[in-house]
Amino acid sequence: MSRLLLRLFISSSLWLAASSRAEHVILTGGPALRQWENLRVPADRHDHWWANFVRASTLRIEEIHRAYGEDARIVWLVYRPSYRTRGTEDKTPYTNWITDLAKKNQAKLIWVTSGDSLIHAINSRPTNAITTFDFFGHSNRYAFMLDYSNDIMAVSTAWLHERDLPRIHSAVFARNAMCKSWGCHTAESMSAAWRNAIGIPLEGAVGATNYTIVGQGQLPSVSGVWAR
């Protein structure tokens, strides 16, 4: 009996330790500049609203707090350069607003400025800590595009490509971590590369995703299907 109690105590202690360091990581890419997008035909224009990805992220934060409790640890990684330049264009302090949103939603805000700084931020998380991971932003089948049509029209100058995934330390993810990309086309290639490099599934879109409903308080939908 004493051995059984000891095993139960050890198991409970390990579970509590794992729960106490569990983190929910949200990565938010940046918006395009209107000076570039307004040159395109209307059907091809992006990011009329600067906060599509930010609002989707806070909706997900609210969802995590409902599911895991108000004390759930949120780590919010945001690509700062695009919000700084879009803020300059719109004459609005978007980076200050995002800082205030992080405080309001009890999230630890970490600004990233490149693919390299993103990888460093992920690898800096504790071992087995990342319990959920979500990406909101532009993407194609091969990469999360942190920037798109902000620095150069219709071009990304900062990204996390599937070729970069082996640089991410898989040990920072919990064994059964739930990972999802809310960008376009991820499941058409990058999801398989993620599983090969990190060892856990990444749910993503086959087809494009729709952010127009985000302003109505709904997470993005997919034109095709969600897949891994």
- CATH number at 108 reads 3.40.50
- Domain-embedded: residue 68: yes
pLDDT band at 21 (very low <50, low <70, confident <90, very high): confident
Q: Is 53 part of any domain?
A: yes
Helical pair 80-90 and 94-104, crossing angle rounded to 10 deg: 120
pLDDT at residue 103, rounded to an integer:
98
From CA 10, how far away is CA 16, in angstroms rounded? 10
Long-range contacts, 198-205 (Cβ 8 Å, 24+): 198/165, 198/168, 198/170, 198/173, 199/170, 199/173, 200/170, 200/173, 200/175, 200/176, 201/228, 202/228, 203/178, 203/179, 203/227, 203/228, 204/180, 204/228, 205/181
Residue at 154 is within a domain: yes
pLDDT in tens, 186-227: 999 999 999 999 999 999 999 999 999 999 999 999 999 999
Q: What is the DSSP letter of 30?
A: P
pLDDT tens-place string over residues 26-56: 999 999 999 999 999 999 999 999 999 999 9
Residue 9 lies in a domain: no
Q: pLDDT category, 165, cuts 50, 70, 90?
A: very high
DSSP letter (8 states) at residue 203? B
**Is residue 2 included in any domain, yes or no?**
no
Domain that includes residue 209, residue range = 22-227
Would you say residue 85 lies in a domain? yes
Single-letter amino acid code for the residue at 166? P
Residue 204, SS3? strand
pLDDT of 89 higher than 70: yes
Distances (CA, A) of 91 to 30, 88, 102: 16, 5, 21
CB atoms within 10 A of CB 186: 30
Would you say residue 13 lies in a domain? no
Position 144 in a domain: yes
Tell me which residue of 74, 59, 58, 61 sits closest to 24, measured CA to CA.
Answer: 74
Instruction: Report the number of distinct structural domains present in the chain.
Output: 1
Tell how many helices (H) and how many strands (E) occur in the chain: 7, 12
- Per-residue pLDDT at 1: 52
